[in-house]
Every structure is written in C-alpha cells, then in structure tokens.
Amino acid sequence: MPRIDRRSLLACGLAAAAIWRPLGRARAASFKADPFSLGVASGSPRANSVVIWTRLILEDTSAITSADPFAPAPKRVAEPMDIEWMVAEDETFSKTVQSGLFRAVPEFAHSVHVEVKGLKPGRWYFYRFRSGNATSPVGRTRTAPEGGDAFRFAFASCQQYEQGFYSAYGEMARSDLDLVVHLGDYIYERSYGNELVRQHGTGVPSLLYEFRDRYALYKSDPQLQAAHAAFPWLTIWDDHEVTNNYASDRAPDAPNPAEFLDRRRAAYQAWFEHMPVPPALAAGFDALRIYDHYRFGNLLSVSLLDTRQYRSPQLQGAAGNDQAERTMLGPAQEEWLAETLGMSQAKWNVIAQQTLVSERDTKVGPETGYNLDGWDGYRAARGRLLSAVHSSAASNPIVIGGDLHAFYAADIKRDFADEKTHPIASEFVCGSITSDAPSEASLATALAENPHLKFTSGKHGYAIMRLSERSAEVDFIGIADRKQQNSPAAVFQRFAVVDGAAGVNRL
Ligand SMILES: [Fe+2]
C-alpha cells in the first residue's frame, strides 16, 4: 500500500518545482570540476523504498589517477555540503514525486545516502542530485514488486581494475533487468597478474583516504557507472574490499590483529561510503552488519550473506576442516538465515553469498585437494547451511556466488560423495568481470572429479537469472576480450531450474 496519497504527492511536486532554484540552506557552490564524476547509484530496493546514492568529489583528484607514487595527497575539503535530491516518475522530471536536501559531510567523504520512502511497488523511478551549479547524471531505479511479476536480475563479482576493461558492465547497462546483485571483490587492494590494461597508481590501501581513493578510481569507470545508473543494486563484499583471504580479525598480510582491525574499519567505512546501502549502516564500522533479506513479490526472496566478517581462520591443511566449532557465517547469522528461510513464502529462494558452496576436489585421481578459503575449508558449517536450507522447506533454493573467477553450475547435495542422491538445491557461480581466471586444465579437473559440478568456464562476464512461476532460467554471458574496451558480449550457455525439482538443466 503506497504511503503517500494524491494530495501529498501534489504537494511534493509543487515543493519540488521550486527546489532547483537556489535555496537559502544550500551552499551556492560554484564548481570548476564536476563534483558528480563518480556517477549515481541506487540500491536496497523494497516495495515502497529505495536508497539513492552519490558522492561529491570536491578535492583535486589528480592523485587518484596519477601513476606517480610520489604525487602529493589531494587537498581535502572539510566543509559539509547541502545536496538537493529529486525523484520523479519520468526521465524529464516533469512528474516529481519526492525531493529534499541531504547534508553531505566530510566525515563520510561527502557521500549521499538517501532512503526514499513512500514509493509505489514495482515501478521505475528516475533520480538526480544538484549542488550549487552542478547537476548529476540521471539515474533510474525500480522498487520491488508486490505481486507475482516475472523478475530478472544480473549477478556479478570480481572486477580487478588493472586486469581488464568493464565491457561486461556496458552490456549489462543495455539489458533489460530489474536488479543487479554484486557478490564481492568490487575493488582489489593490490595488483595481481600481468598484461595489465590500466593502473591503480597507488599502493595497497590501509588508511581511510586510501580506500576512498581506490573506490573513487574504480567508480570513475563510465561503464560501471552506466550499470549503476540503470538499475538498483544489492551489494555484499568478499575479501579484496579489505585484503586477500582475510578471516574476521586476521589476514595473511597482517601480523598484528589490532592493526588489522584498524584497516578493516577503514575498509568497511569506505565500502559504506561508496555503496547504495541504507544510511542506517553508518552507525559504526568496527563491525558492519551487511547480511540482509530482500523480497521481490511472491516470486523471489534474496538472502544476502557475509562469509568474511564472522568466519573462523582458514586452516593450513585439510585436517580439521570438519570441526563443528568452525564457522563461516557466525552463530548469529546462521540462526538468522535459518529463520529467514523458514518464514519465506517466495517461490524462489536465492541465497546470495561470495563463493562456491558445492564441494570441489581440485586434484586428479584418488588424491583430494580443496580450496581452504572456500566452504571446503568449513565443512561442518556447510553442513549446517545445507541442513537449514533443507529443513526450512523454503521452496526452490538457489545459491549464487562469485569469487572463483570462473562460471560454475552445480547440483547441491546433502552428501556430495553419493552420486545417487537427489540435489537439494541448485547453484550458479558467475565468472569474473575482469579478474584473472584459473587455467582450463584446472577447470577440466574440477568437472572430472566432481560429478555434481555440471558446467564450468573461465570466460569473463556475468550471469542473468529470469524467474517465472514455472522456472528459473540462467544465462551465462561472456565478453570476447576483457583486455579490449567495448568488447562484444554474448550468452554462451543457458540453464533452467524447474519449479519443484532442484538441480541445474543445461539448455
Ligand atoms: Fe575475486
């Protein structure tokens, strides 16, 4: 039920008509450089609300793109800025539904997070920002539907900036979607691989301003901006938003946990500042609860998980990977997920997390090898996750993930060793947007050694899931060459999951 009636809508419209004139409260700034150079974004869509985002870049940003490690730190602007925001039903803003002022403060890098409430379900909206003489690009967003409308979303992960261009996002922006789900590794903390097409230009971030600059660099990409401006996003992080393979309060490159927690706090704050997530998350960054649940009518429920912040440390060897006390989600999140799945009435229940849940033996022949940073290093925790999925009786569970820099489709089993048992859930992992893929030989081994893994590919791109009453169809989309700008993209494999029958079917 929309919370605003026609009269208040009209009143909002009138107020909005006046708002683009200079306001007493707004700082009449005159910008020499575009302060909206990071674009706009929206996210966290509910039936009646959505978060709209931007960040003002007020400083001299030359240091951000400079490859010179001795470039001087940019001058920071320390004053708060009043930003005008406006939401309309049409692209030309003739039917404005809401508007207001947001005070962007330097403590949060002049980021803007407005939770726009009182919207109608299942509708497209357009939004923009203004400050002084500068106006942002127009963004488009969509509220969650309330009924059983068909629904389409893309999912993506792993976008190392130096290893490729964001052609995949250019293609995504042009497609027909209701939502984008980002599964982590939105930024990378350091350089990896070779044949780099562009440079970070700065070292490994550990301080807040360094993480901010890294996000600003990634978000300066026009194709990434286009994908943000076209659809609302749901975002969760993986490890590279902080540092490689970190686990809770420790990391391989951090001998001192207290120092690491300072770095993690800075990384979590910068993540908040650059993601279209609810403003309420700004309450503190020593811990940041990003796991959450979103409902898209009767058709789809999405549970977003955090497999980094609460996990037990990685093991050095496979011995002990079935210890019951080892956790991936932490007890509170485990309990929350079981409850969330138990209450779900949706036809399709997507569990969006960072990596592959299915077992994956990486060694040829009778010998076994596992990725101990993934769920294979947390077997008892995986067992509890799968028990929660199974015993909740949530209809049609589908796990999605990223992290591996390769596409996977899999049947999730209670006992992966038993080939004869029926799957209890379906799983799809998207390949990376740009980050280096594993070797073809290792992907072939994964398929040969693990019968429940049905497909894999080291292409770069993303996936789209289309949901209806009858089926969930998944397209794997690959770009021809990540090292080229505007490289063409095409669907290279399709799958379907049929209502009531867990398991992936190649089309
Ligand atoms: Fe990655």
Q: What is the 3-state secondary structure (H, E, C) of 293-327?
A: EEEECCCEEEEECCCCCCCCCCCCCCCCCCCCCCC
Banded model confidence at residue 23, pLDDT cuts 50, 70, 90: very low
Whether 464 contacts 153, CB under 8 Å: yes
Q: For residue 433, how far is its CA from the centre of ligand 1 (angstroms)?
A: 9
CA–centroid distance, 189 to ligand 1, in Å, is 11
CA of 289 to the centre of ligand 1 (A): 21
Read off the pLDDT of residues 192-233 as tens digits, 9 standing for 90 and up: 999 999 999 999 999 999 999 999 999 999 999 999 999 999
- Structure-token pair, residue 489: 């993209």
Pseudo-torsion of CA 173, 184, 187, 87, nearest 10°? 50
CA–centroid distance, residue 242 to ligand 1 (Å): 12
- 240 Cα–ligand 1 center, Å: 7
Q: Which pLDDT value is given to residue 317?
A: 81
Task: Encode pLDDT of 122-135 as tens digits.
Answer: 999 999 999 988 99
Sign for the pseudo-dihedral over CA of 427, 431, 437, 440: positive
The CATH architecture one would assign to domain 145-506 is 4-Layer Sandwich (3.60)
Number of helices followed by number of strands (H, E) in the chain: 9, 22
Q: Nearest to residue 463, comparing CAs of 231, 182, 141, 164?
A: 182
Q: In the structure encoding, which two tokens stand for residue 322, read together?
A: 């079935």
Cα(225) to centroid(ligand 1), Å: 20
pLDDT (average), residues 474-486? 98
CA of 192 to the centre of ligand 1 (A): 10
Centre of ligand 1 from the C-alpha of residue 403, in Å: 5
Return contacts of 442-446, CB within 8 angstroms, 24+ apart.
Answer: 442/362, 443/406, 445/362, 445/363, 445/364, 446/360, 446/361, 446/362, 446/408
Q: What does the pLDDT read at residue 70? A: 52
Å from CA of 164 to ligand 1 middle: 13
Give the mean pLDDT of 107-113: 96
d(C-alpha 43, C-alpha 496), whole Å: 27
Residue 442 near residue 406 (C-beta atoms within 8 A): no
pLDDT, residue 8, reads 38
CATH number given to 6-141: 2.60.40.380
For residue 375, list its beta bridge partners: none
User: 174 or 316, which is more confident?
Assistant: 174
- Which element (helix H / strand E) includes 54? strand 50-55
| Domain boundaries defined on the chain | 6-141, 145-506
State the distance from the centre of ligand 1 to the C-alpha of 343, rounded, in angstroms: 32
**pLDDT-derived band of residue 290, with 50, 70 and 90 as boundaries?**
very high
Residue 282 CA to ligand 1 centre (angstroms): 26
Separation of CA 335 and ligand 1 centre (Å):
27
What residues flank ion ligand 1 with Cβ within 5 A? 158, 185, 435
Alpha carbon of 404 to ligand 1 centroid (Å): 7
Ligand 1 geometric centre to CA of 47 (Å): 32
439-458 mean pLDDT: 98
Q: Which residues pair with 99 in a beta bridge?
A: 86
**What is the reported pLDDT for 474?**
98
Whether 408 contacts 456, CB under 8 Å: yes
**CA 468–ligand 1 middle distance (angstroms):** 30
Q: Can you give the pLDDT at residue 409? A: 98
Are 468 and 481 spatial neighbours (Cβ–Cβ below 8 Å)? Answer: no
Whether the predicted pLDDT of 370 surpasses 50: yes
Across 290-317, average pLDDT: 96
The average pLDDT across 138-161 equals 96
The reported pLDDT for the residue numbered 320 is: 79
pLDDT digits (tens, 9 = 90+) for 403-418: 999 999 999 999 999 9
